[in-house]
Amino acid sequence: MAGKGFTVNKDWDNPKEHAMPAEARVPAEMRIGPVVVTPATVLAPMAGVTDTVFRRFIRHASLFQADKLSSEQVDRLTSRQEAVQIETATTNENSGCGLLMTEFTSADGLARMRETKRQRYLTFYDDEHPIGAQLFGANPETLAEAARIVEETGFDLVDLNLGCPAKRVVGSNGGSGLLRDLPRIEEIFRAVRKAVKIPFTVKFRMGWNDADIICLELARMAEAEGLDAVALHARTREQGYSGQARWEWIARVKQAVKIPVIGNGDIRTPEAAAAMVAETGCDAVMIGRAAPANPWIFRQIAQYTATGSYQRPTVEDRYRMISAYFQMLLDEVEATKDLPRSARLGDPEGRMKQFATWFTHGVVGGAKLRRAIYQSRTGAQVLAQVDAFFAAQLAGSTETDASPEEDGLPEFPEGMPVYD
């Protein structure tokens, strides 16, 4: 089976028999300069995915002390509004997701953009703190200017993307393109460091290819230039997303520097998060593709760390989740409707369809629901399909596919936007 998560020794699954070893627990806290990240889990930046609605949704979905619904509540769970209230009427104090990140934003674009357009890229709400903004670019001065904008906007930290394999980004020497130019990276580190007081971090891959692995030098350089943390997606640029992330390089980076090291790549389950910490000693784990398919993963990690086991989502949980996300999306459309076009949330129906696709993996009959959703033309039709589907499920009259989809988190979701 693909992925490290499936090969780890899970001795500590039963807390009564095996206490989870301390060195395998995802840490309760990581400090990036003055920013306290608690617990030490990070939502990875994902272009086309981690906009403000998704980020807040993940924060809220990660509440791990929220009461489970009582059976009476489930019986009454007939209206979307009620479902949403249950899911969102709490604070993020106990969220299992310690740090949010924006998707990558072009430093050139940001420096040139008008104020209103910046709003679309840099909008966040109070309940997103702590939150970092990620930038990409190749010009030190432009990146420094963009970092200043990020600081003025109120972000808790600024992150530099050195991992993006996208051709248009690499073509202009941004993202992973810079991995072949360490002197330029050094200039960028210096310029940005001088420009802002907020913590400055960098996210990178191991190197361009196996013949040119530079992550240790890069991490040491980051430390020497005053960066506050590093995050490694343990693959090379040439690897794209193929093969397995090579966590041993996270361990090596951890040994090479004293600043916090965030490990990233192929975490799909709480067991895998614990295994990454055990194998690498990393200070925090960063989770990307698993989050849209299993928005509970951060909460599950928190639970797993605390108790050695974790709850799996029920049908009601999924209904609440989809309803909550859709409602948040519609609220955002409403909240931004009077702003200039460039600052509005775009294509809510498209987003609904996309997220419904990811969320319904693991739901019995999910394939049928996805087909119905894809045929819907409006947001209201999508909502009606979801309501009807779950009403039938909760009433027990499930007309399902022959083979139920597996619960939990089998694979990364189909239909993720392409980031290469």
Ligand X SMILES: Cc1cc2nc3c(=O)[nH]c(=O)nc-3n(C[C@H](O)[C@H](O)[C@H](O)COP(=O)(O)O)c2cc1C
Interface with ligand X includes 185 (CB under 6 A)? no
Instruction: Answer whether 345's CB lies under 8 Å from 331's CB.
Output: no
The span from the CA of 89 to the CA of 63, in Å, is 11
Question: Which 3 state secondary structure label does DSSP give 373?
Answer: helix
CA dist 100 and 289 (Å) reads 14
Check residue 106 for interaction with ligand X (CB under 6 A). Answer: no
Angle between helices 140-153 and 182-195 (to 10 degrees): 40
Q: Least CB distance from residue 87 to ligand X, whole Å?
A: 24
199 contributes a contact to ligand X by CB under 6 A: no
Q: Give 265 or 365: the residue with its C-beta nearer to ligand X.
A: 265
C-alpha–C-alpha distance, residues 44 and 54, integer Å: 12
- Quick check: 316 binds ligand X (CB under 6 A)? no
**For ligand X, the closer CB: 49 or 219:** 49
Interface residue with ligand X among 266, 283, 316, 332 (CB under 6 A) is 266
**Under rule CB under 6 A, residue 110 binds ligand X:** no
Q: Is 282 noted as a catalytic residue in this protein?
A: no
One of 97, 164, 215, 282 is an active-site residue; which one? 164
CA distance 387 to 332: 21
The secondary element (H helix, E strand) that includes residue 74 is helix 71-76
Of residues 395, 353, 393, the one with CA closest to residue 374: 353
Own/partner contacts of 65-68, CB < 8 Å, gap of 24 or more, are: 65/94, 66/90, 66/94, 68/311
For residue 160, state whether it binds ligand X (rule: CB under 6 A): no
Q: Mark 27-46 with x for binding to ligand X (rule: CB under 6 A) and - for no binding.
A: -----------------xxx
Smallest gap from residue 116 Cβ to ligand X (A): 22
Nearer to ligand X, 34 or 48 (CB): 48
Does residue 84 belong to the site contacting ligand X (CB under 6 A)? no
Q: How many residues bind ligand X (CB under 6 A)?
A: 25
The answer to whether residue 135 forms part of the interface with ligand X (CB under 6 A) is no
Give the single-character DSSP code of 44: P
Residue 191 lies near ligand X (rule: CB under 6 A): no
Closest CA to 159 of 255, 33, 45: 45
Residue 280 touches ligand X, criterion: CB under 6 A: no
CB of 323 to ligand X, least distance (A): 24
Q: Which residues are catalytic?
A: 164
Catalog residues that contact ligand X under the rule CB under 6 A: 44-49, 103-104, 134, 161, 163-164, 203, 233, 264-267, 287-290, 416-417, 419
